[in-house]
Structure 1
Amino acid sequence: MADTVELHRDMNFTMIRNWVGASNREEFFAACDENGILVWNDFWAGDAIFPPDNDVFLAIAADTVVRYRHHPSIAVWCATNESDPPAAMDAGLRALLAREQPELWYQGNSAGGVVTGHGPYSWIDPARYFDGDTYSIGSYGFHTEIGLPTVPVAESMRHLAGDQPAWPIGPVWFNHDWCTRGGQNPDTYRAAIEDRFGTASSLEDFCAKAQLVNYESMRAIFEAYNAALWNDASGVLLWMSHPAHHSTVWQTYDYDLDTNGSFHGARKGCEPLHVQARLSDWQVHAVNQTAQPLDGATVHAELLDLRGRSLGAPLTAPLSVPASSVSAAFTVPFTAALPPLHLLRLRLVGHDGTELSHNVYWRYRTPADARELARTPTDVDLRTGPARRAGDRSEAVVTVRNTGRAVTAGLRLSARDARTDQRVLPLRCSENYLWLLPGETAAVTVSWPSRALSSGRPRFVAEGLNLPRRTT
């Protein structure tokens, strides 16, 4: 339980929705307390399915509130999922909370009243997240459910499949939520992957390509809310962030606790201090999700081709961002003179020259233009410092250098036990899915629970869409 809540903290999430009260364990609430994450806590009704005995329901609700109300993480009690509670239930819960915990917000319907919901749950063009009409009532609001299919990395898919064929897509996928007639509509997700990167030749190929779609989409969900912050947008919760079992959809990490493109896209979009571009018109914003103003900062933007060559003069704008706010810097239009595929690199720099955030967009005129990423190979060199233990965790610094002639297209770092070759999980990286230009170097701090590496000897792996697998 602690591991899963820490993964939410590492994504910079500030709230978890405990859907229909699915977790009733003390460890869950304690972990949220310890990690500074608020809890939206549902009761156990919804979808127009209600308990036959309201008095018994209210008695159990009272026990639940009294049992857990000492946890500072609980911020919302919600009566029902996506439906209005019956009048007697609503009145009883309101009276109960007014008596036992009057300081907290009571929400009757998880997708009604002052909040919105109802998805979308399938893949959509990431630019559409920046249009309020995409959401259920034609505006952002506080949105309680949104998500998309998320295929994990290949090794997790093989664990999902067990002794069944993991490729091609078939029965074992269908048994793990790849439901072609469900709200997840995985056919559009698969089409998005193949339109951008071509038809997959293997499970490894499909999963590698899927991670860039995962990253791009999940980052866009949160950046759309950043761009409209307090201008109709006040918050967004995922359906879902945590997988209840091995799955192919609606998750930010998999059941093995291995993170993927969705995790790191969400983490990027939720940075407390963040620089981003609005995909609908390429306006660049600086976002400050902290309680302190950001004064004297500068936003930098540069356009580059896949070889790292400049495509024009860089843009720079000084700005300040009040606490819990967003400020526009400038627009970087996708003009007809630009190559059909290129990079937009953004940096947010503090008044003292410290980089506070960086962000890379691979901009393509048509989805098929993105296929050039896989056709532009590069290579990297890995170096690792000594592994050091501090308490119950260990860490090392992995230095990655792009030794090739093209950008690394979402380079993924992972770790394995040098003795057993088993994955080291859950793994925490200071950054991941790296876009390094030729000659660039990144020093990534990688840490793990010491219990997850019995040999004490880590081996680090770098892989990506356009580079061979390299290990230390």
Structure 2
Amino acid sequence: MKFMRKFLAILLSLYIFNAQAQQRYELNTGWLCNNIKEVKVDGAQISKAGFVLDNWMQATVPGTVLTTLLNNKKVPDPFYGMNTEKIPDIYKTGNDYYTYWFVKDFDEKAVGNEQVWLQFRGINYKAEIFLNGKKVNAATHEGMHLRARFNITKYLSSTGKNRLAVIVYPPDVVGNPNGGQGGDGTIARNLTTQYTAGWDWIQPIRDRNTGIWDKVTIEKTQGVNILNPHVVTLVPGKRIPNAKQQPATIKVSVEVENPTMKAISGILQYQMAGKTVSKSVTVPANKQFEITFADLAIENPRLWWPNGYGKQDLYPLNIKFLSANRVLDQENLTVGIRQIDNIWNEHTQSMGAYVNGQKIFIKGGNWIISDAMLRFSDARYDAEVRYHKDMNLNLIRIWGGAILERPEFYNACDKYGLLVFQDFWFSGDCNGRWVDPLKKDDQWTRRKYPDNHLLVLTAIEDQVKMIRNHASLAFWCGGNEITPPDDILNPIKNDILPRLDGTRKFFDFSNSDEMSYNTIGGNGDGPYNIQDPKSFWAVKTYPYNSEVGSVGVGDYESLARFIPNENMIAPESDGKVDSVWNYHKYIPYGKHIEPYGKVEDAKDFAMKAQLVNYDQYRALMEGFSNKMWDWYTGSIIWKTQNPWTALRGQMYDYYLDPNACLYGLRKGSEPLHIMMNPLDSMVTVVNNGLVDRHNLMVQAKVYDMDGKDYFYSQVFNSIGASSVRRFFPMNEFLKKLDKKDGVFVSLKLLNEKQEVLSDNVYWLADKDGGYKGLQHIKQAKLEATATQKGKGKVEVLLSNPSGNPVAFFNRIALVDTESGKRILPSFYDDNYVTVLPGERKTITVEYTHATDNLAVEVYGWNVEKQTIGIR
């Protein structure tokens, strides 16, 4: 009998769990749409089941009008060539051209005390909502950055057959896309994405992102609705990863709503780390209020650390409201236990970031948005954030001219250990920081954008609640290069964030003196163009630089995805460039390509550009790391990704194909890294880790163009935690070598087991500053094999026999044997690798694409392209 009772209890708990698991679902298929000009009736009629939709178009929801038109082949791909010019711009057509009705039929009904909720996570820009002939929203929904939630229980059909109709209007002021940053700037009069009127990295988005752009969800509760949980984790003291930890404190609160006509009593509880915290609660009829739980102490917690400093341990947290042995509602969260603090560094005159009591040297990337047409997916978010992890970065800054990112993005950042620096929706360009002849309004007027300040404050409250529980979210920021107006800024600082968060640093704007005291002058960020790699080591810039960057052209295969064949013309060193390259915002490489030899064609240019890319971003992060805690507390690269097919500032292209920028940056950002200062040839090691490293072998060799090696030095030594140490110079040795052709410098850092912890190969120019040796280097017959190492994992072994020259700058690509195209995304633990004579290197490739038709392609500067099968 005892066994039977236990068995029935288990069955009951499984029933409750499964029933509850079905209480929330997306309306993400089966939508139809039509332009307002084609629809002659109102929403009350459209939303009735009898209204005929025979001539309506299949709609993409979540998505924008432009995405729907593209998916129905009504417009060409705006990311290819100059196709955007073939798509009518809303500024010329008028708003009705992109104003659409969206209709969705779905099955749902409420039984007993059930309550059914319709939730929109994002509509751009205004909307009226109808269900079964009735208007759902009393006031027009307005604002892109704002969720909407409606209790639709009373509107549901008794048959369970329902029709939802939503009319979506574009932003009121769409802006003139006149070539300025944000066009004429007036797009910022709305609470919407500013980049859609065009920027220096994108052409205008013709519909200005109009549509039901984020998830639409139906949720069913049993009377009580749990809303906006808030979890704060306190980790006092200075912690060490992987050590036994002192307790951490968990503070949880949650809003509870009762929309029914009767009070509801029950137990509100949450479970985490095997512990349960409960509270008896009575929720009065038609009331909503916040409930705070008693603090929970977690013994020996598994802590969450930024990438490169420790693991990203996460805990599930489940909140339930139970009454009469029934779960009325529940919410499931994932929580990382960590504490983030900020302490001003008097030496550098910049803010220092601390996690769990440990100072973190910020190595970050600026992020615009995943897709300029808002085609988001969990898989794409995961891949993009993983690339940032693979670059050995520890922070992503979300730029203010786009959105506050979606929860799925923060899930990926939680998973991979990327701290997030989140701007709100303001930019110096549109919001009036500078005089700009391309702007319609003067600075005084633009300074007051957007028009509806109360709407902004409402949206900020809502969006803070949406993402505040993510361990990765580290900093809030008022805006990109400018603060919001005072009547927005002051409530954010003094009310909204202290009340709704209270744990994260708020910077007034992205390059403010409170972040980085800018004694050098200027705007506090940049430069953005190609530079002499030595300058990253020699020139002191802002001590916590929010934007510093360079070029980012992809390789030939990347270019071919969006540049028509007739436009595949290599740019010239004087800046002359094909119209399509220019349209895609090409930044000139100037004379940085010339040292590698005369450019033959676009393919040759793209290959040589990868050498420049690698050198640029390796030098950038090495230069900043070399002055860690002396000149700098961090830097954030402008920018690491593109949501459009732009030819600038990207470590991988829109199609998720990495270029050499990613691997140069990955090399220069290694947590434990050996490098050579180009100013004095000093071999230097940087240790970003939190523990001292002892008995390290520091090794240096030089190779000429024939592959002959010249041993220089190897010494045992150590380096302290979070520090930089200079070991020995190589300048005199390098001067003695015949440098008429240039040489390779090989640096390695090994442990006592002779395992390589870091290796780095530099190619040095000849005495005239060119690379004549590389231009004439002999071919190396690189041996390559590939072995399947489990699902989604391939191991590539590269061997360069003794007596060969250096096998220089080899690109590995996983390809589909049927199409010959690359498998995207693919993740390589190294790429553009150089293999020394007598050396073997193993490269691990991971992928998620489901196919058996795989091969590995390998080619290099002096290595013939080969395609090898996978064993």
**Shared fold by TM > 0.5?**
yes
**Residue 367 and residue 152 in structure 1: after superposition, are their counterparts in 2 closer, same or farther (change >3 A)?**
farther
Task: Quote the Cα distance in structure 2 between the aligned partners of 1:253 and 1:22.
Answer: 21
Task: Quote the Cα distance in structure 2 between the aligned partners of 1:275 and 1:285.
Answer: 6
Counterpart residue identity of residue 757, structure 2: L
Task: Quote the Cα distance in structure 2 between the aligned partners of 1:30 and 1:383.
Answer: 37
Counterpart of 2:390 (choices 10, 13, 18) is 10
> Is 1:347–1:357's contact at 8 Å kept on the other side of the alignment?
yes
Counterpart of 2:820 (choices 414, 421, 424) is 421
Q: Which residue of 2 aligns with 1:175?
A: 583
Q: Which residue of 2 aligns with 1:79?
A: 478
Counterpart of 2:620 (choices 193, 199, 221) is 221
> Is 1:281–1:331's contact at 8 Å kept on the other side of the alignment?
yes
Greater Cα shift, 148-157 or 322-331: 322-331
Structure 1 counterpart SS, 2:639: coil
Per the TM alignment, residue 357 of structure 1 is displaced from its structure 2 partner at its CA by: 0.4
Structural mapping, 1:295-374, within 5 Å:
295-311=694-710, 313-333=711-731, 335-340=734-739, 341-365=742-766, 368-374=769-775
Per the TM alignment, residue 365 of structure 1 is displaced from its structure 2 partner at its CA by: 4.3
Structure 1 counterpart SS, 2:386: helix
Per the TM alignment, residue 435 of structure 1 is displaced from its structure 2 partner at its CA by: 1.6
Task: Quote the Cα distance in structure 2 between the aligned partners of 1:321 and 1:97.
Answer: 40
Task: Quote the Cα distance in structure 2 between the aligned partners of 1:389 and 1:22.
Answer: 38
Counterpart of 2:410 (choices 5, 9, 29) is 29
Task: Quote the Cα distance in structure 2 between the aligned partners of 1:126 and 1:68.
Answer: 38
> Is 2:672–2:757's contact at 8 Å kept on the other side of the alignment?
yes
- Structure 1 or 2, whichever has the larger Rg, is 2
Counterpart residue identity of residue 409, structure 1: F
Counterpart residue identity of residue 582, structure 2: F
Structure 1 counterpart SS, 2:806: coil
Task: Quote the Cα distance in structure 1 between the aligned partners of 2:533 and 2:818.
Answer: 42
> Is 1:317–1:329's contact at 8 Å kept on the other side of the alignment?
no
For residues 228-282 of structure 1, the C-alpha deviation after alignment (integer angstroms, 9 at most, x for no partner) is 0111211111111111111211001111211111000010011111111122222
Per the TM alignment, residue 163 of structure 1 is displaced from its structure 2 partner at its CA by: 6.0
Counterpart of 1:233 (choices 622, 625, 632) is 632
Q: Which residue of 2 aligns with 1:380?
A: 781
Task: Quote the Cα distance in structure 1 between the aligned partners of 2:565 and 2:813.
Answer: 25
> Is 2:696–2:716's contact at 8 Å kept on the other side of the alignment?
yes
> Is 1:111–1:118's contact at 8 Å kept on the other side of the alignment?
yes
1:253 matched to 2:652? The reply is yes
1:469 matched to 2:865? The reply is yes
Greater Cα shift, 60-69 or 115-124: 115-124
Q: Which residue of 2 aligns with 1:458?
A: 854
More helix by proportion, 1 or 2? Answer: 1
Q: Which residue of 1 aligns with 2:488?
A: 89
Structure 2 counterpart SS, 1:161: coil
Structure 2 counterpart SS, 1:410: strand
Q: Which residue of 2 aligns with 1:158?
A: 560
**Residue 159 and residue 367 in structure 1: after superposition, are their counterparts in 2 closer, same or farther (change >3 A)?**
farther
Task: Quote the Cα distance in structure 2 between the aligned partners of 1:268 and 1:190.
Answer: 24
**Residue 240 and residue 366 in structure 1: after superposition, are their counterparts in 2 closer, same or farther (change >3 A)?**
farther
Task: Quote the Cα distance in structure 1 between the aligned partners of 2:529 and 2:616.
Answer: 11
Structure 2 counterpart SS, 1:44: coil
Task: Quote the Cα distance in structure 2 between the aligned partners of 1:73 and 1:282.
Answer: 38
Structural mapping, 1:69-218, within 5 Å:
69-95=468-494, 96-113=496-513, 114-115=515-516, 117-133=524-540, 135=541, 140-162=542-564, 164-169=566-571, 170-178=578-586, 184=587, 186=588, 189-194=589-594, 196-218=595-617
For structure 2, which runs of at least 5 residues remain unmatched after alignment? 1-380, 432-448, 519-523, 572-577
Task: Quote the Cα distance in structure 2 between the aligned partners of 1:221 and 1:371.
Answer: 25
Task: Quote the Cα distance in structure 2 between the aligned partners of 1:231 and 1:383.
Answer: 44
**RMSD after superposition:** 1.9
Structure 1 segments of 4+ aligned residues over 6 angstroms from their partners: none
For residues 32-80 of structure 1, the C-alpha deviation after alignment (integer angstroms, 9 at most, x for no partner) is 1111111000000021604233332222111111111011111010001
Task: Quote the Cα distance in structure 2 between the aligned partners of 1:87 and 1:24.
Answer: 24
Task: Quote the Cα distance in structure 2 between the aligned partners of 1:286 and 1:332.
Answer: 14
1:400 matched to 2:798? The reply is yes
Counterpart residue identity of residue 591, structure 2: A
> Is 2:597–2:771's contact at 8 Å kept on the other side of the alignment?
no
Task: Quote the Cα distance in structure 2 between the aligned partners of 1:168 and 1:266.
Answer: 25
Greater Cα shift, 415-424 or 227-236: 415-424
Counterpart residue identity of residue 177, structure 1: K
Structural mapping, 1:275-294, within 5 Å:
275-294=674-693
Give the length in aligned residue pairs. 451
Per the TM alignment, residue 12 of structure 1 is displaced from its structure 2 partner at its CA by: 1.1
Q: Which residue of 1 aligns with 2:451?
A: 52
Counterpart residue identity of residue 150, structure 1: G
Counterpart residue identity of residue 273, structure 1: L
Counterpart residue identity of residue 350, structure 1: N
> Is 1:317–1:330's contact at 8 Å kept on the other side of the alignment?
no
Task: Quote the Cα distance in structure 1 between the aligned partners of 2:553 and 2:663.
Answer: 14
> Is 2:708–2:805's contact at 8 Å kept on the other side of the alignment?
no
> Is 1:374–1:465's contact at 8 Å kept on the other side of the alignment?
no
Per the TM alignment, residue 290 of structure 1 is displaced from its structure 2 partner at its CA by: 1.7
Q: Which residue of 2 aligns with 1:43?
A: 424
> Is 1:229–1:325's contact at 8 Å kept on the other side of the alignment?
yes
Counterpart residue identity of residue 467, structure 1: V
Per the TM alignment, residue 164 of structure 1 is displaced from its structure 2 partner at its CA by: 4.9
TM-score (norm 2): 0.50
Task: Quote the Cα distance in structure 2 between the aligned partners of 1:26 and 1:420.
Answer: 35
Structure 2 counterpart SS, 1:369: coil
For structure 1, which runs of at least 5 residues remain unmatched after alignment? 179-183
> Is 1:377–1:467's contact at 8 Å kept on the other side of the alignment?
no
> Is 2:778–2:805's contact at 8 Å kept on the other side of the alignment?
yes
Percent of residue pairs identical:
29
Q: Which residue of 1 aligns with 2:181?
A: none
Greater Cα shift, 352-361 or 430-439: 430-439
Counterpart residue identity of residue 314, structure 1: Y
Greater Cα shift, 356-365 or 424-433: 424-433
Counterpart residue identity of residue 175, structure 1: Y
Greater Cα shift, 196-205 or 377-386: 377-386
Per the TM alignment, residue 409 of structure 1 is displaced from its structure 2 partner at its CA by: 2.0
Greater Cα shift, 426-435 or 330-339: 330-339
> Is 1:128–1:280's contact at 8 Å kept on the other side of the alignment?
no
> Is 1:15–1:39's contact at 8 Å kept on the other side of the alignment?
yes
> Is 1:197–1:368's contact at 8 Å kept on the other side of the alignment?
no
Task: Quote the Cα distance in structure 1 between the aligned partners of 2:702 and 2:558.
Answer: 36
